[in-house]
Chains A and B, each alone.
Chain A
């Protein structure tokens, strides 16, 4: 299957700083990528849909000024957590699809963010 690479896999940052997470589609182009947040032993919560060359679409309740998404190319989307707080500590996962909307999505390996 297609490969989605997410970096870093783990990051620890201090409160008040910003952290950038990258999501790359390695062997295909993705006009749309998705960013999820997952709490321990829980399902994935969709945060936003990242659209290449345009603004991201955020889900209700997700602060767009806190979780900045940039999808500058067909193979790269970034999520920046700004002014991080300990409650932002979580597992963040990105995904992308190959082709039409009925095809399966491929997921990055996830990023474990810990804010201290």
Chain B
């Protein structure tokens, strides 16, 4: 079965420090991986994706993620956190069981709290 796990419900970091939000996955084929951010009472905003190519993917708002095939991980990172980065972050993987619809499987979400 395909799945995505975000092992941390919440990550706390001080402003200016680097942040990491963890994600591991399990898929039956090539992994198509995504990170989204959600602010309160809003929809999800796309941050970045890994389809193929370089393992280090750069995305919006200074975020990046590293694809690690051997560890089946796709951790989200940022060198210097901002208070405005505080939000709910979701990792997602394409569901191969859905045919060609592109349905996504989401992790349970990680709340990032950046303190000034």
Q: A residues engaging B (CB < 8 A)?
A: 1, 4, 6, 32, 34, 41-44, 46, 49, 57, 91, 93, 95, 97, 100-110, 112
User: Are B102's CB and A101's CB within 8 A?
Assistant: yes
* Residues on the A chain within 8 Å of B49, using CB: 104
Does B44 make an interface contact (CB < 8 A)?
A: yes
User: 9 shortest A-B CB distances, which residue pairs?
Assistant: A101-B102, A107-B43, A107-B44, A109-B43, A110-B43, A102-B32, A43-B108, A104-B46, A43-B106
When A43-B109, A102-B32, A102-B51 are in contact, do A93 and B44 touch as well, CB less than 8 Å? yes
Does B70 make an interface contact (CB < 8 A)?
A: no
User: Are A34's CB and B103's CB within 8 A?
Assistant: yes
A41 to B10 Cα, complex, angstroms:
11
User: Are B102's CB and A108's CB within 8 A?
Assistant: no
When A1-B46, A42-B109, A104-B46 are in contact, do A110 and B104 touch as well, CB less than 8 Å? no
When A41-B111, A107-B44 are in contact, do A46 and B103 touch as well, CB less than 8 Å? yes
* Residues on the A chain within 8 Å of B63, using CB: none
Residues of B17-46 whose CB lies within 8 A of A? 32, 34, 36, 41-46
Please, which residue of chain B has its CB at the minimum distance from the CB of A57? Answer: B101
Please, which residue of chain A has its CB at the minimum distance from the CB of B108? Answer: A43
User: Are A6's CB and B43's CB within 8 A?
Assistant: yes
